């Protein structure tokens, strides 16, 4: 499901009540950019604006239908998205920047050890949306230790030996 589908639903009179932070609702780089790119508009009675940017709160409200909420501000890699049975809408027009993990190595280090790229690039390429949601859920929802989750993933994906 995409933001294009969402726009068709909104413009067709579908019921929408979105919860988001004040910044998400008003910042030109957030909701207004989606509305402009996809050609829909949410009225004030279709928005529940909260003061903070706590996506755990917004996602829980959408999952539970709190105050009629059925859509939420979220990060696509939030662990609770999958755990709460929510769906991240794709952004085929690229209205929002995608925040993906990426390797960073100082130039002089990679110049001296160019094999580093061959080692770490496949790891980062393996971290797609679904994988990041799953790993983040283990930490945010299940309370597992981040280092343990990372090690388990790297071993199971064949990047580290046991």
Residue range 3-83, CATH number: 3.40.190.120
The answer to whether 160 touches 151, Cβ cutoff 8 Å, is: yes
How confident is residue 162, by pLDDT bands cut at 50, 70 and 90? confident
For 36-61, write each residue's pLDDT tens digit: 999 999 999 999 999 887 888 899 99
Residue 67 · residue 48 · CB < 8 Å: yes
pLDDT value for 121: 92
Residue 94 in 3-state DSSP? coil
Q: Are 83 and 60 in contact (CB under 8 A)?
A: no
Span 102-146, pLDDT tens digits:
889 999 999 999 999 999 999 999 988 778 878 877 887 778 899
Distance in angstroms (rounded) separating the CA atoms of residues 56 and 49: 14
Whole-number pLDDT of residue 69: 96
pLDDT in tens, 71-81: 999 887 777 88
pTM of the predicted protein model? 0.69
- For the chain, residues classed under CATH 3.40.190.120 are 3-83
């Amino acid at each position: 499901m995409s933001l294009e589908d969402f726009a068709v639903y909104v413009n067709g009179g579908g019921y929408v009540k979105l919860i988001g932070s004040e910044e998400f609702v008003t910042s030109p780089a957030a909701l207004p950019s989606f509305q402009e790119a996809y050609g829909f508009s949410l009225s004030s009675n279709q928005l529940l604006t909260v003061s903070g940017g706590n996506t755990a709160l917004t996602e829980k409200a959408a999952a539970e239908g709190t105050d009629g909420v059925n859509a939420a501000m979220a990060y696509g890699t939030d662990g609770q998205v999958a755990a709460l049975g929510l769906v991240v809408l794709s952004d085929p027009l690229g209205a929002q920047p995608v925040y993906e993990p990426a390797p960073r190595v100082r130039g002089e280090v990679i110049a001296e050890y160019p094999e580093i790229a061959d080692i770490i690039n496949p790891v980062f390429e393996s971290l797609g949306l679904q994988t990041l949601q799953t790993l983040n859920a283990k930490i945010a929802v299940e309370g597992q230790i981040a280092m343990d989750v990372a090690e388990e993933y790297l071993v199971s994906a064949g990047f580290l030996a046991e």
